[in-house]
Amino acid sequence: MNTVKPPLSDDLARVLIDEDSISKRVSELADEINAKYRNIEEPLILVGVLKGSFIFMADLVRRLTIPHVVDFIAISSYGKKGTERGEVRLLMDTRENLAGHHVLIVEDILDSGSTLSYLIRTFGARGTKSVETAVFLDKPARHVIPVDIQFRGFEIPDVWVVGYGLDYKERHRTLPYIAEMIPEK
């Protein structure tokens, strides 16, 4: 293992969650998911929300022992000026037919809640057996629409974070840790 760490980029304030803590927490979440769905008949369909969830998804599914299928969707959200409420639109749907399956939505971060509440509603209307959510990060201070989270990685303060799939204008998405950005002046 290379133990020499590159210095923190100068637009980042600090590391909020390091690699070891991430790995430990993802294993715990996988254990919880394995336990919760151990008796299902059809494979669990995990639906990752692109792009932010792809690294969390990759780490999570490699720790699952239950039968499962990986799928992804792409959405876009428009923030209306002056309000916190974003309008969500599906850009790319799942390949799988979700009807008759337990579905687990895999998201990088819960902010206002508009993305997840839209997805829970949309997938719930497709004859799914259940729709639950695994969210790597949660910013409780930002919630506008209440959303039920069954599997939550970490609660974080109201700061912009990057790494482990999350970006700022496509920057820092592939950092192995979660870091806090220094706000732009």
- The single residue among 48, 52, 86, 153 that binds Mg ion, judged by CB under 5 A, is 52
Which residues in 10-49 contact ligand IMP (CB under 6 A)? none
Is there binding between residue 110 and ligand IMP (CB under 6 A)?
A: yes
At 129, the amino acid letter reads K
Q: Cβ 51 to Mg ion, closest distance in Å?
A: 7
Q: Is 111 a catalytic residue?
A: yes
Candidate segments 14-22, 63-71, 89-97, 112-120, binder of ligand IMP by CB under 6 A: 112-120
Which of the choices Mg ion, ligand IMP, none does residue 132 contact, using the CB cut-off of 5 to 8 A by kind?
Answer: none
At 171, the amino acid letter reads R
Which strands, in side-by-side order, build the sheet including 102-110? 86-92, 68-79, 44-50, 102-110, 130-138, 151-155
> How far, in Å, are 5, 6, 20, 38 from residue 2 at the CA level?
8, 10, 14, 37
At 140, the amino acid letter reads P
Which strands, in side-by-side order, build the sheet including 12-17? 12-17, 178-181, 161-162
From the candidates 11, 18, 31, 111, give the one annotated as an active-site residue. Answer: 111
Is there binding between residue 48 and Mg ion (CB under 5 A)?
A: no
Instruction: Using DSSP bridges, classify how beta strands 102-110 and 86-92 pair: parallel, antiparallel or unpaired.
Output: unpaired
Q: How many residues bind ligand IMP (CB under 6 A)?
A: 15
Query: 37 or 172: whose CB is closer to ligand IMP?
Result: 172
Applying CB under 5 A, the residues found at the interface with Mg ion are 52, 108
Residues with catalytic function: 111
